[in-house]
Structure 1
Amino acid sequence: MTSFTKSVAKPRKSVGARRNPEAEAAVLAAARDLVSEKGYTGFSVEEVARRAGSGKTTIYRWYPTRADLFIAIYTAERHASVPVPDTGDLLDDLEQYTISLWRFWASHPAGAALKSLIAEAQGTTEALEALRHRFLPARTADVRQMLKKGAKRGQIREEDVDDKVSLWVGLSWLKLLVNELDQESSVRRLMAQIAGIRSTG
Structure 2
Amino acid sequence: METSSPASSRRTSIGSQRNPDSEEAILSAAEAILREAGLAAFSIEAVARRAKAGKPTIYRWWPSKAALLLDVYHRQKHHGHMPDTGDVRSDLALFVTSLLAFWRDDGGAIFRSLIAEAQSDPAALEALRRYLLERWRQSGAIIQRAQKRGEVRPEIDSDLTIEILSGFAWSRLLTGRLDCSEDEIRAVIDAVVGGIAAR
SS state of the match for residue 40, structure 2?
coil
Q: Quote the offset at 1:197 in angstroms.
A: 6.6
Secondary structure of the 1:196 match is: helix
AA in 2 matched with 1:111 = G
Using the alignment, how far apart are the partners of 2:171 and 2:57 within structure 1? 36
C-alpha separation in 2, matches of 1:16 and 1:24: 16
Provide the residue aligned with 2:8 in structure 1.
none
Map Cα deviations across residues 112-142 of structure 1 (whole Å, 9 max, x no partner): 2322322332222122111111x21343344
Aligned in 2, Cα 1:111/1:193: closer, same or farther, shift over 3 Å?
same
| Equivalent position of 2:84 in the other structure | 86
For the 8 Å contact 2:103–2:173, the answer to whether it is kept is yes
Amino acid of the residue matched to residue 95 of structure 1?
A
Structure 1 length as normaliser, TM-score?
0.80
Classify 1:24/1:138 alpha carbon distance in 2 versus 1 (closer, same or farther; 3 Å): farther
What one-letter code is carried by the residue in structure 2 that aligns with 1:144?
G
- Matched to 1:190, the amino acid is V
Aligned-residue Cα RMSD (Å) equals 2.4
- Using the TM superposition, give the Cα deviation of residue 174 of structure 1 relative to its aligned residue in structure 2, in angstroms: 0.9
Contact 2:93 2:189 in 1 (8 A): yes
Following superposition of structure 1 onto structure 2, how do residues 28-39 of structure 1 map, counting pairs within 5 Å? 28-39=27-38
**8 Å CA contact 1:82, 1:104 repeated in 2:** no
Q: What is the percent sequence identity of the aligned residues?
A: 40
Structure 1 residue corresponding to 2:103, chosen from 98, 102, 105: 105
Residue 181 of structure 1, CA deviation: 1.2
Shift of 1:66: 1.2
Residue type at the aligned position of 1:49:
A
How many matched pairs?
183
Q: Distance in 1 between matches of 2:16 and 2:169?
A: 37
Which residue of structure 2 aligns with residue 45 of structure 1? Answer: 44
Code of the aligned partner of 2:172:
K
Give the TM-score of the pair, scaled to structure 2.
0.81
Q: What stretches of structure 2 of length at least 5 have no aligned partner?
A: 1-12
Aligned counterparts of 1:51 and 1:81: Cα–Cα separation in 2: 28
CA deviations over 1:128-170 (Å, ceiling 9, x no partner): 111111x213433442121221122122234421220221121
Structure 1 alignment gaps of length 5 or more: 1-13
Q: Whole-Å Cα distance in 1 between the matches of residues 95 and 87 of structure 2?
A: 12
Q: CA deviation at 1:198?
A: 9.4
- Compared CA separation, residues 90 and 55, structure 1 to 2 (3 A): same
CA change 1:158–1:68 in 2 (3 A) is: farther
